[in-house]
Amino acid sequence: MHTNVSSFSIASLSAQERMATGVVAALLGVFMLFGVAFAQPDILHNAAHDTRHAITVPCH
Amino acid sequence: MIMRVLLAAIIAGLLAGTIASAFQMWRVTPLILAAEVYENKGDTAGTQTGAQASAPEEAQSWAPEDGIERTVYTLLTNSVMGVGFAFILAAVVMFTGRAITLRNGVLWGLAGFVTFSLAPAAGLAPDLPGIPAADLMARQVWWAGTVAATAGGIALIALQDRMALKALGVALIAAPHVIGAPHPANIDSAVPAVLAAGFAANTLAMMALFWIVLGVAMGWSLNRAGTRAET
């Protein structure tokens, strides 16, 4: 499974590898940011309250 | 490969989130706490100015205790925020195929800052507790739309050679501001304007710091993760 690369280079990745990695990273990132910045339940809102205000997303 | 990139993003996100947290404790949280004194006064006097009358509900549901507990939750959610933005940045690096390095990391960071903080803040000023605001859902929709339009605009300007496409990028960035952000009809507030002004300046400074650290750290960690793995 592993290729022997000694240094990381975007150019050394195949387009499919880049797309697959990008999709996984984007989905995880959107999920985490939605929970921290947008989700409505009070428990999430109150825990993340100061973060929401500080990162300048609409809070309440 | 996926794990290597995700790990590099987690390292960079935690570092940037932690530095942002330190700045927040110093420059931002004291302003939130000062504003809440006025916000709560307004609630008890029945003169709540926000369009959303959500405060009475919040009083009944769980919230972290002021002091150490509240600080710990903010540190935790800032870390999740940091890693979340790091994943988004990593995804953009992968989708565009453009390298992020220690040298150009600051440019990637500034693009993130303009996209997620500066452009939305130009329409919806950083929101201090107790400052009146329009309907939450309307603001969230405008915020997300502005982020998407700004990201698309920057991508067109940075990645396309044709002038027409670059011009389209400029139009995309301007569009949400031409449409206009939602604002409340009643803008009376018990919170002193000087607190809100200081808050706006310091939150934007915090996010600029966060994004610059994130961009540079990602330039370092992504390349470092590659050289360390699989020797």
> CB distance A23–B91 less than 8 Å?
yes
Which residue from B206, B225, B230 is facing A4, i.e. has the nearest CB?
B230
Lowest mean pLDDT segment, chosen from A37-41, B152-156, B167-171: A37-41
Shortest distance, CA B18 to any CA of chain A (angstroms): 12
- For chain A, the domains span 14-54
Residue A51, C-beta contacts closer than 8 angstroms, at least 6 positions apart: A36, A37, B74, B77, B78, B81
Chain B, window 4-33: residues with a beta carbon less than 8 angstroms from a chain A beta carbon = 4-6, 9, 20, 24, 28-29, 32
Which residue of chain A comes nearest to B84, CA vs CA?
Answer: A29
Which residue of chain A comes nearest to B230, CA vs CA?
Answer: A4
pLDDT of residue A13: 81
Instruction: Decide if the complex's ipTM is over 0.85.
Output: yes
Do the beta carbons of residue A3 and residue B54 sit within 8 Å?
no
Chain A contact present for B50, CB below 8 A: yes
pLDDT of residue B61: 85
Identify the domain containing residue B144 by its residue range: 2-53+84-228
**B104 found inside a domain:** yes
> CB distance B97–A11 less than 8 Å?
yes
User: Which whole number is the average pLDDT over B161-188?
Assistant: 97
pLDDT band at A14 (very low <50, low <70, confident <90, very high): confident
User: Which whole number is the average pLDDT over B91-119?
Assistant: 96
pLDDT band at B224 (very low <50, low <70, confident <90, very high): confident
Size of interface A-B (CB pairs under 8 A): 178
Q: Calculate the CA B154 to chain-centre distance.
A: 17
Predicted TM-score of the model (pTM): 0.90
User: Which whole number is the average pLDDT over B47-59?
Assistant: 47
**B151 found inside a domain:** yes
pLDDT of residue A52: 95
User: Which whole number is the average pLDDT over A38-50?
Assistant: 93
- Across chain B, mean pLDDT equals 90
Shortest distance, CA A10 to any CA of chain B (angstroms): 6
Total domain count for chain B? 1
State pLDDT tens for residues B115-142: 999 999 999 999 999 999 999 999 999 9
Tell me the helices (H) and strands (E) count for chain A, helix number first.
3, 0
Closest to B84 in 3D by CA, of A26, A48, A53, A54? A26
pLDDT of residue B44: 57
CA pseudo-torsion sign A38, A41, A46, A48: negative
